[in-house]
Amino acid sequence: MSVHPLIRLVSAGLATVTATALLAGCGSDSDSGADSGSGKGPKSGATRVITGDNGQITVPVDPKRVVATGYAVPVLIEANAPLVGISTWPRGLGLMTGPERTSYDKLHKIGGATAKETNYEAIAAVKPDLIIIGVPKPVLGEMDLKRLASIAPVVAIGPSLPSAWRELSARQADAAGRAGHTEETRKAYQKRADELKAKYASSVGGLRFGHLGAYNENQQGTFQREFAGSWGTNIAQDIGLDYYGQVKKKSGGSSDVSETPSIEELPASLGEADVITYTVQDDGTPSAGVQYVLESPLWKNLPAVKAGKAIPIRYTASATYAQAQRTLDAVDQALAPLLAK
């Protein structure tokens, strides 16, 4: 699993204005599709101003040719946005439906999974009228936003905390002219989460959960402890799981909800857990980093592990409500042994 561990977001509201209001209040040209500060994309008629991590950006009301990167990729594929180019999104391929995967495979790739892998020439070649950047705010420094803005209006809407996909998915869809797309899937997700919360209330209530994450792949001799609000925990929390503890030192973004201490600290970190969940790949097998921990004598001697209360969870990379429903199903299957007799 390849995921950039530093995820940031500047929480921002979404403001929309009509073309008439823009002419009166903002002075932008409603026929330009972009102002001098947000790019030189093709004319696209009426415009509006939305708030991104990179400021107030004038974008087409009805974009026709959209480029998406990062977390915006699965959202906009699900929303049937008029995509002409996307970055790769390997972490979420197993969560896509057949038609979504077909769309993903057919779309022109304008970069890799990280901001540094952006191909500016490829973006210019597909002639977008809107570019939606779904990378973490600190990672924006690795991208040439000025160069992108010379191609088309650029709006950056990226995550800070792993749990921020909920808000981001709605904002990204709206930016691409698909406002309201996420509402139906949000309701379905919430209904399923409420059902499972009721189902497990008497079985998990009062239990202290810990989570072993999978994003320490390149840090030998360590393990990843995820707390509430992290990748492996935020969806499980929606059905009532209580992940105890917090990081030793908060430094912003994902580091506020996860840490990678030395493997020797495993007993101190997870020794008080009644149940330990841990991230596995979509096929149910542990990644190399997780397997390293599972083979450690320190892991095997943890009270929860010795009691048979170590539970693997799949699909922790969900970034949309539709995908997160699969995570809920996986959590349901994993927790079944805990059901009160």
Residue with tokens 């749990």: 163
Burial class (CB in 10 A: 0-12, 13-18, 19+), 122: middle
pLDDT tens per residue, range 293-307: 999 999 999 999 999
Residues 124-149 have a mean pLDDT of: 92
Least confident piece of the model among 39-43, 85-89, 148-152, 335-339: 39-43
pLDDT tens per residue, range 156-166: 999 888 999 99
Q: Tell me: pLDDT of 313 over 90.
A: yes
- Asked whether the CA dihedral 51, 57, 61, 66 is positive or negative, the reply is negative
Residue with tokens 């939606």: 132
Q: Tell me: pLDDT of 289 over 50.
A: yes
Residues 255-280 have a mean pLDDT of: 96
Q: What is the pLDDT of residue 140?
A: 83
Higher pLDDT among residues 19 and 83, named by residue: 83
* Domain boundaries, given as residue ranges, for the chain: 19-179, 184-338
Q: Homologous superfamily of 184-338 in CATH?
A: Nitrogenase molybdenum iron protein domain (3.40.50.1980)
- pTM of the full structure: 0.82
Q: Tell me: pLDDT of 246 over 50.
A: yes
User: 92 phi and psi, to 5 degrees?
Assistant: -115, 10
Q: What is the pLDDT of residue 325?
A: 96
Contact 92, 74 (CB under 8 A): yes
156, β-bridge pairs: 133
Q: What is the pLDDT of residue 139?
A: 81
Q: What is the pLDDT of residue 63?
A: 97
Closest CA to 33 of 41, 25, 21, 23: 41
* Averaged confidence pLDDT in the chain: 87
- Dist. CA 106–CA 122, nearest whole Å: 15
pLDDT tens per residue, range 106-123: 999 999 999 999 999 999
Q: DSSP E strands: which ranges in 4-128? A: 47-52, 55-60, 66-70, 83-87, 109-111
> Which CATH number describes the domain made up of 19-179?
3.40.50.1980
Q: Report the relative pairing of strands 224-226 and 310-313 from DSSP bridges.
A: unpaired
